[in-house]
Structure 1
C-alpha cells in the first residue's frame, strides 16, 4: 500500500527556555528523496487495537519490522509482533513473544529492538514487566531473516539490553547498546552496555547523567569514527541532551543540552556511510501539545542540526491532541537507502524509505 507523501523542510532556531514555542515556517522540499511510504499492515485489518515502539532491520534484502501490540500499552495482553517484506508486500503480522510466565502470570511486553551483529544471527531484544520501572530484558534470535525465532533468553541480572534504539558495532567488533533505567523513585538515567563477544555477554557502564539536572532515557548512539561517539537522549526537560566520548565509549563527558526541543518523546539517529548524521524526532515541547509533527534533521558535526523534512506534519483543521507520530527507528541498509518506522496514531506502524543523497 503506497501513499502520496508531501515533504516539507524546516529551519529551526529554538530557545530552550522559550515557553511560548511556536513551530518554524514550513519550506517545501523536493519529493524525490522519498522512495516508499507505506503502512506495514492495513489499518482496517490491524492485528491489535493499539501498537507502538517499532523497530526495523534489513537482512539479505528482506525488511523485518517489529513492535509491541495489544489492547493498550501496559495491558497484560501486549506482545511482540513482527512482519517481513521479502518482495513487494508485507507478510501478515504474527505475535512472536508474549509475557506469559511459567506460573501462568502474564505481564506486558515492551520496546522490541532488532539488531544484527556482523556475521551473526538477527537479534530481537525486548522487555517484559508490569512497567518500565520493574521490567527485565530478554532476547530471541533468528537465522532465517525473521521467519523463525529461538526461545527467549533472559539477559543477566542488571543488564536491560537496548531500551529503545539499536546498538552499534565499533570497528574493533565491540557492540555498544544504548540503555537507560526508570527507577521506582522516579529517577531517569542513561547508561551503555558493552559486549566484546558478539552479544553473548555484557558489561554495564556507570550512570551517565544526574537526574536532578537532566532526567534522560532512551539514548541513541552516533559514530564519528576515531573513537568519537555522541549519545542523544529523550528528556523531561523539553530538550534533547548530548554526551560525548572520545575513546569508543569507555568514558563519557558531562550531559549538556542541545538546541533541539523534545516533548518527552522517543528519538532515534543514525550515522550515514557518507559521515552525515540523521535524527528523527518530534520538534516540539511537552507543553505545546502531543507528539506531532515528526521530523528529520541532518548534521555533519552533531552540534548544528538542519531540519530537512517533515515526515508527518500537523494537518490544518485537526486537533493535535488526537494525533501522534512517534517513537521512530532509523537505519541505513547496505544499498544506502534509509529506512524509518514509527507509530502512526497508535493504530499502525508506518514505513518510509528515503534516498539520503537527495536530502
Structure 2
C-alpha cells in the first residue's frame, strides 16, 4: 500500500457523510466529492469537496448546497480539460424516488463551477459511478431508476451535448448502481448492486455499445445490497471493490481479475472491523496507481492509493 488517510471527519454541523467520488484534476492532483449533513436525506445535507495537490489533501469545502433540499449521490468525472459533477437532489417527499439529477461543470480544476443545470427531469433517476468513454469515443453514464430498481446508461455520441437512454438492465430482483467496463473484444460488462434479498452482485453485458443489455445473472462476488465499483486498468487487469459478505457492509474487499471481470483470482480486505465500510469509488491515475475513496462508518471519508500488485501481496 502506498498511502491512506481520512479526508473528512464528521463535524458537529455535519456528523454523517457518504457516497464519495474521485477524479484526477486536469492540471494535476485529485478532486473528491461526497455528501454530508445531520443524516442521509436531511434538508441540511450538502455536497462537500476537497483537492489533493500531490502532497496533501486540503481542507474540505462546500461545493453545492441546494437550499432547503437534501443533496445526494455525487459523481465527479474528468473529461478532457474539464470536470463534470453529477449530483442528485431530493425534490419531493418520497426520498430518493423524488430525486432529480443535475450537472455542474468546472474548467479550472474544480475551483469554480457553472450553475447547476437539470440533467434529467424525471424523479428517481440517480447515478453512483462515473461515465466511461468507449474506444470509439462514445460516453456512457451509468444510471438507475430508484422507483423501479433497474439500471441503464445515458449515452452521448457528441461529447455530452445531447444524451439519450439505453435499454434497461433487468434482474429477477432489483438491480441498481451499475459500474461498466469495456472489454478488449468491444463488449461491455456491468456489475450492479442487488436488493436486500440477494447476497451477491448482479452482472450483465452489452454487445452493441451499451444500447441494450442482457438479462442480469449472479456474479461470483458476494455483495449484499451495497454499492460496488469496478475498473479496467491500463495493464489489462480489472479491480473491483465491494462488501465480501452475505449480510452487512463489512468487510470491504478488493478483488483482482486477469480476464476482464469474468473470474476473480485474488482478494484483499481493506476493512474488516464491525461497522459500515461502503460505497467505494476506484480510479486509475496517470501514474498507473489506483485511488480508492469510501464511506467509513458514515462518520468519515477515507482515501487510499496503491499499486495494483498490492492486491495480491501477502
TM-score with structure 2 setting the length: 0.92
Partners of 1:180 and 1:298 in 2: how far apart?
Answer: 26
1:260 offset after TM fit, Å?
1.4
* Divergent runs of 4+, >4 A: 44-47, 158-162
| 1:46 Cα deviation from its structure 2 partner | 7.3
SS in 2 for 1:107: coil
Aligned residues between the structures: 304
Displacement after TM superposition at 1:158 (Å): 4.2
Question: Relative contact order: is structure 1 or structure 2 higher (C-alpha 8 Å, sep ≥ 6)?
Answer: 1
Q: Cα deviation per residue 1:29-76 (whole Å; 9 max; x = unaligned)?
A: xxxxx11011113x3767621100000011232111100000100100
Two-structure CA RMSD over aligned residues (Å): 1.8
SS state of the match for residue 116, structure 1? strand
C-alpha separation in 1, matches of 2:16 and 2:130:
23
Asked whether the 8 Å contact 2:88–2:126 carries over to 1, the reply is no
Q: Which of these residues, 165, 181, 189, is aligned with residue 222 of structure 1?
A: 181
The 8 Å contact of residues 295 and 307 in structure 1, kept in 2 or not, is answered as no
Question: What secondary structure sits across from 1:327 in the alignment?
Answer: strand
1:40 aligns with 2:7: yes
Give the Cα separation in 1 of the matches to 2:108 and 2:299. Answer: 28
1:1-359 → structure 2 map (5 Å cutoff):
34-41=1-8, 43=9, 48-59=14-25, 60-100=27-67, 106-117=68-79, 119-129=80-90, 130=92, 131-158=95-122, 163-183=127-147, 187-210=148-171, 213-236=172-195, 237-286=198-247, 290-301=248-259, 302-314=261-273, 320=274, 323-359=275-311
Q: Rg larger in 1 or in 2? A: 1
Q: Structure 1 residues 120 and 87 mapped into 2: Cα distance closer, same or farther (>3 Å)?
A: closer
Gaps of 5+ in 2: none
Deviation string, structure 1 residues 181-212 (Cα, Å, up to 9, x no partner): 111xxx311111101121222100122204xx
Whole-Å separation in 1 of the counterparts to 2:10 and 2:178: 33
| Contact 2:167 2:213 (8 Å CA) reproduced | no
- In the TM superposition, what is the alpha-carbon distance from 1:161 to its structure 2 partner? 7.1
SS of the residue aligned with 1:40? strand
Structure-2 separation of matches of 1:304 and 1:95: 40
- Equivalents in 1 of 2:111, 2:193: separation in Å? 33
In the alignment, the residues of structure 2 paired with residue 203 and residue 113 of structure 1 have an alpha-carbon distance, to the nearest angstrom, of: 19
After superposition, the C-alpha distances for 1:76-107 in whole angstroms (9 at most, x for unaligned) are 0001100001132211111111222xxxxx22
Query: What is the rounded CA distance, in whole Å, between the counterparts of 1:246 and 1:46 in structure 2?
Result: 49
Structure 1 unaligned blocks of 5 or more: 1-33, 101-105, 315-319
- Counterparts in 2 of 1:161 and 1:115: CA distance versus 1, 3 Å: farther
Deviation, structure 1 residue 343: 0.3
Q: TM-score, normalised by structure 1?
A: 0.81
The equivalent of 1:6 in structure 2 is none
State the Cα distance separating 1:146 from its structure 2 match: 1.1
Query: 1 or 2, which has the higher strand percentage?
Result: 2
User: Per the alignment, do residues 198 and 340 of structure 1 end up closer, same or farther by CA in structure 2, a change over 3 Å counting?
Assistant: same
